[in-house]
Amino acid sequence: MPNFKLAIVFVGSFSLLASCGFSLGEENTWDVTQPIETGVTVEATGLVKVVPDAVQFNFSVFAIDASSSGALKRANELASQAREALDKANVDKDEIATQSINIYPEYSYSQDGVQNLVGFRATQSFAVTLRDTTSAGEVVDAVVASVGTDLSIDTLAPILINSKDAAEQARENAIKIAKDKAEDYADLLGVDLGNVISVREFATSGATPQPWLRADLAVGESSKTVVDLGTQEVSVTVEARWAFANGN
């Protein structure tokens, strides 16, 4: 019976060692084989310059009145005038979004620091995407003319909506640059570049939009708003690892 228990313990121990990747050598010594992965990891960024395909136009209308209801009523009227101007300019309603509606008191302060209520200010803010970039300046002028001095432009900037093609090209550029780097390392080390082991992509980014306004210098056009689209950069950064073919 004791010999039977000993045999079970020995067999169990051998199975455990085998499951851990151990092998029995010819001279009854344990040989642990662990493959060593050799290679090079590089990082590269691919860039593509593209012309923006839309203009972001954010503006606010505001009104001041002795009562909050009066201020809101006037702000609503101004907002309606702005919407009408956008409609006449053939801006799709789906491209117009109300960002906020606010009413808050306006105060004046005397020299001795006493606070006096002078009225209420109501504001409505809008975000408009102008996909027809050639007429963006005309749309801005139409909205400003319809509202008058009770309007402020918060943002007017070229934007890139459809970046798919640019991102694909930037990704291709990044991979080419990464492979060139890896091959350079292989040449410097006197080894051959093997298969790619892994690739990781980081977030795609765009550059800061170009300045947005200028006066047209053509005769008779100096009073019109012109939106210069400029170019923006779409970038893709990758981290890639290649093995060395000969394992050196």
Amino acid letter for position 162: N
Handedness of CA 192, 193, 195, 198 (dihedral sign): positive
Of 28-32, 85-89, 115-119, 138-142, the range with the lowest mean pLDDT is 28-32
Identify the burial level of 16 via C-beta atoms within 10 angstroms of its C-beta, where 0-12 means exposed, 13-18 middle and 19 or more buried. Answer: exposed
What is the structure's pLDDT at 222? 58
> How much is the mean pLDDT over the chain?
83
Residue 10: is its pLDDT beyond 50?
no
Residues 94, 100: contact at Cβ < 8 Å?
A: no
Percent of the chain with pLDDT over 70: 76
What is the structure's pLDDT at 115? 85
Radius of gyration of the chain (CA): 34
CATH number of 54-159, picked from 3.40.50.740, 3.40.718.10, 3.30.565.10, 3.30.70.2970: 3.30.70.2970
What are the distances in angstroms from CA 125 to CA 62, 87, 88, 160? Answer: 9, 17, 19, 22
Percent of the chain with pLDDT over 90: 68
What is the structure's pLDDT at 20? 43
Residue 40 to residue 36: CA distance in whole angstroms: 13
As a whole number, mean pLDDT of residues 24-52 equals 73
Tens-digit pLDDT profile for residues 195-222? 999 999 987 665 544 444 443 434 345 5
Residue 33: is its pLDDT beyond 70?
no
9 confidence band (pLDDT: 50, 70, 90): very low
Residues 231, 210: contact at Cβ < 8 Å?
A: yes
Domain 39-51+163-244 fold is Translation Initiation Factor IF3 (3.30.110)
What is the structure's pLDDT at 2? 52
Tens-digit pLDDT profile for residues 50-86? 999 999 999 999 999 999 999 999 999 999 999 999 9
Identify the three-state secondary structure at position 171: helix
Residues 75, 61: contact at Cβ < 8 Å?
A: yes
DSSP E strands, 4-53:
22-24, 30-32, 39-50
The residues, ordered by sequence, that sit 6+ positions from 150 with a Cβ below 8 Å of its Cβ are: 61, 62, 63, 78
